[in-house]
Chain A
Amino acid sequence: MNYVEYLNNLIRSEVLRNDNSVLFGQNINAGSYLSGLTKNIKVNLHSRIINSTNAEYSLTGFGFGLMMNGASGVFLLKQLDFLLLGIDHIVNTYNIIRNLNDKYPKGSFTIIPTIVDSGFDGPQSSFNNFNDLCSIARVKGFTISNKSEADYLITNHLFEPGFRIIALSQRLGKQEIIDENPPINIFCNGEIFQYSNGEDVTIVSSNFSYPQANKLSNFLKKNKIKASHFNISSGLIENLSIIINNASLTKKIILVDDSKCIQTSAEQVLPLLANCNLEKTLILKRNLNENWLSPVSDIFEIDEENVLYNLTN
């Protein structure tokens, strides 16, 4: 089952378990159903599914209105870039709600954007750094990279009281959902997933770089280097004590991030590791070519042999 089909199954199941909910977004109940993500969703008697108008700013405000009045809103949209139009509500409207969190009814609002990271989409589809969006107003957000993360995050957070953004990857969409390596630990309500525990090096992946980091971890293992691999699914870099403790033991860290922004999660994590007495620090991120604004392949690849060389020399 591919990534989108698996998420579709999970969302359908959660929607049926929750009443008084409104699912809305452009074409979510028509056409390609957001490439299959919202296909065949059925809602309960007191819930609605709405093929909405094309108005991302107002749709974001609409969701917060639902939440403010005790209902559950889920806004699904095709592209993270579109959500830039709703940023006023994500910053300012949400600030009001959380300031009066004890007074408003316990409604819920979740935005599910797809990050266009499969390449060849051009200059208006280049916003892939999810943590920037979460950071601007300190809003809770998660990325989903594999089956285990999908299971945990959709089940626990889709209709949880409060607000969050759950970002999906277009690049992973048509691929078989990754299910090879279940997490050995889940920390901070799904903000950090730990996939392996090794004493030689700490690998920290973020945004949608889990597949590359997982491949690197396996490669290193074949070369007798045991890694502790953590994937930060949270869009906010806050409580990293579990990673700091691990890096303090391994003394070596590899930070992996596929974002296109200047200040990737890797750069945000690094200062927090200042007291780990690190002997080796490797930051693996994109080297954007000068044609990065044009439709290009957008592939983020890691030179694993080079990483191995750097770790052992």
Chain B
Amino acid sequence: MKNKIFQELIRNRLSQVIINEEYKSGNFKIPIHLSLGHEAIAVAISNTLKPQDKLLLTHRNMSYNLARSGKLRPIIDEYYLKESGLANGRLGSMNLINLDSNIIYSSSILANNFSVAAGIAMADNIFDNSAVTFVLGGDGSMEEGSFYESLVMMKSLNLGIIIIIENNEWSLGTHINERRVDINLDKLCESLGIVYQKLDNNSVLDYLNTLQETRIKCKQNSQPICIEVNVKTLGDRVTPPTHEFPNGKYINYHAGPASTVDIKSDFYGLILRENSEDPLFVLQEEIGIEKLNKYGLEILEQLKTELL
């Protein structure tokens, strides 16, 4: 089981890097948001879902769709808007939904999906099917009024929902400290009687254990639970020095191809950050370089075969 999870994590990263290479070629007509750095939480959620559960995503849904489908070709085809795509070319990237894999909704509108999740959970409540609804948002979406409205609604109606806030500290090109006061999500949840948890070490197994326990608590108590996950959206860069920025200017990654991310012949090159901000670095610490490299090369071959 553990090895399967590790392989899924590596596959998720490699798939995104391959998509990034296609993206660099300029052939995609649609906007795409890579989620390099989000792999640990995506794979953990994917492995927590029960067949009856529902997952609602945001515009940055790539790692989740990869994790749930387990395939790369249909996602690339979807980005090319082909009939053979995951959604038959009808959705593209930002709204990519895969009902066969429990992804019931993806929204490109910030915080739009929280209240939809409440409705979905309410329907499952009526049907009495023991499902849990997982809904994703970011540090930007929790600034929207709908986030608060939805938390109040979820708690008031005793809905079994796990709200995942991926806090990457950026909203487009604006850092969290530039745009707002600190929002103490723990206290906000406490004020509404909602259990709050935090994940921040990028260990896929730790995340999986926490999520599995949380899912049980959520269902047993019929209560929403909010989990804040610290993530670093990788693919950022520093521009060459200029007169105005002698040390170069930091550009966070939001959307588009990540110019600093390349396929390397050496698998070690796929670790993008030599610290816990990168789930693959954390995995390397857990399983060792040799095993990581072995899995990586095997999966790379599988992906090449899939794309042939």
Instruction: Give me the interface of A with B, judged by CB distance under 8 Å.
Output: 20, 22, 46-48, 50, 52-53, 55, 57-71, 73, 88-89, 92-93, 96, 99-100, 103-104, 107
Distance of A154 Cα from B52 Cα, bound (Å): 33
CA of A107 to CA of B107 in the docked complex: distance in angstroms?
19
Tell me whether B115 is interfacial, beta carbon within 8 Å.
yes
Contact A96 B105 (CB under 8 A): yes
Query: Which one of A22, A89, A96 contacts B122 once the chains associate, using CB atoms below 8 Å?
Result: A22
B85 to chain A, nearest CB (A): 13
| Chain A neighbourhood of B150, CB < 8 A | 58, 61
Q: How far is the CA of A17 from the CA of B97 in the complex (A)?
A: 33
Inter-chain contact A67/B119, CB cutoff 8 Å = yes
CA distance A47 to B302 in the complex (A): 49
Report the interface size class on chain B.
35 or more
Give B residues with C-beta under 8 Å from A: 54, 87, 90-91, 95, 97, 99, 104-105, 107-109, 112-124, 126-128, 145-146, 149-150, 152-153, 156-157
Given A20-B127, A57-B149, A66-B122, 11 extra CB contacts under 8 A: A53-B152, A55-B152, A57-B146, A61-B114, A62-B153, A65-B121, A69-B119, A71-B123, A92-B108, A92-B109, A92-B112
Q: Could you tell me if B115 and A70 are in contact, using CB atoms closer than 8 angstroms?
A: no
A65 contacts B118, C-beta separation under 8 Å: yes
Decide: B118 and A69 in contact? CB cutoff 8 A.
Answer: no
Residues of A within 8 A of B120 (CB): 65-66, 68-69
Residues of the B chain whose Cβ atoms lie less than 8 Å from the Cβ of A46 = 126-128
A71: which of B97, B114, B122, B153 is its contact (CB, 8 Å)? B122
Give the CA-CA distance A100 to B92 in the complex, in Å: 13
B112 touches A68 (CB 8 A): no
Q: Please name 30 pairs of A and B residues whose Cβ atoms are closer than 8 Å in the assembled complex, sorted by A.
A: A20-B123, A20-B127, A22-B126, A46-B126, A48-B126, A53-B152, A53-B153, A55-B115, A58-B114, A58-B115, A58-B146, A61-B118, A61-B119, A65-B117, A65-B121, A68-B120, A68-B123, A69-B54, A69-B104, A71-B126, A71-B127, A88-B112, A89-B115, A92-B108, A93-B116, A96-B105, A100-B90, A103-B99, A104-B99, A107-B123
Interface residues of B: mostly helix, strand, loop or mixed?
helix
Q: A57-B146, A69-B124 are in contact. Are A99 and B90 (CB under 8 A)?
A: yes
Smallest CB separation, B120 vs chain A (Å)? 4
Question: CA–CA, A236 to B145, complex, Å?
Answer: 31
Query: Distance (Å) between the CB of A72 and the closest chain B CB?
Result: 9
- Max chain A Cβ within 10 angstroms of own Cβ: one of B107, B114, B116, B153: B116
CA distance in complex: A47, B127 (Å): 10
Which chain A residues border B128 with CB–CB below 8 Å? 46
Is A57 a contact partner of B105 (Cβ separation < 8 A)?
Answer: no
| Contact of A64 (CB < 8 Å), options: B99, B119, B146 | B119
Q: Which residues of A contact B127 (CB under 8 A)?
A: 20, 46, 69-71
Q: How far is the CA of A59 from the CA of B107 in the complex (A)?
A: 17
Chain B's closest residue to A96 (CB) is B95
- Whole-angstrom distance between the Cβ of B68 and the nearest chain A Cβ: 15
Expressed in whole angstroms, the Cα–Cα distance for A170 and B155 within the complex equals 33
- Write the nearest CB–CB distance from B131 to chain A, whole angstroms: 9
> Smallest distance from the beta carbon of B134 to chain A beta carbons, Å?
13
| B145 contacts across to A, CB distance below 8 A | 57
Shortest Cβ distance from A104 into B: residue: B99
Can you name the residue of chain A whose Cβ is closest to the Cβ of B156?
A53
Query: Are A62 and B97 also in contact (CB < 8 A) when A53-B153, A71-B126, A96-B105 are?
Result: no
CB distance from A46 to the nearest CB of B (A): 6
- Residues from chain A with a CB closer than 8 A to the CB of B124 are 69
Q: Cβ of B153: which chain A residues have Cβ within 8 Å of it?
A: 52-53, 55, 58-59, 62
Q: A58-B114, A58-B146 are in contact. Are A65 and B126 (CB under 8 A)?
A: no
Q: How far is the CA of A47 from the CA of B122 in the complex (A)?
A: 10
CB of B225, distance to nearest CB on chain A (Å):
18
How far is it, in angstroms, between the C-alpha of A271 and the C-alpha of B149 when the chains are bound? 44
Report chain B residues within 8 Å CB of A100. 87, 90-91, 97, 99
CB–CB B115/A65 < 8 A: yes
Q: Is A70 a contact partner of B123 (Cβ separation < 8 A)? A: yes
Could you say which residues of chain A place their CB within 8 Å of the CB of B146?
55, 57-58, 61
Bound complex: CA A22 to CA B105 (Å): 20
Known pairs A20-B127, A100-B87, A100-B99; A58 contacts B118 (CB<8 A): yes
How many whole Å from A74's CB to the nearest CB in chain B? 12
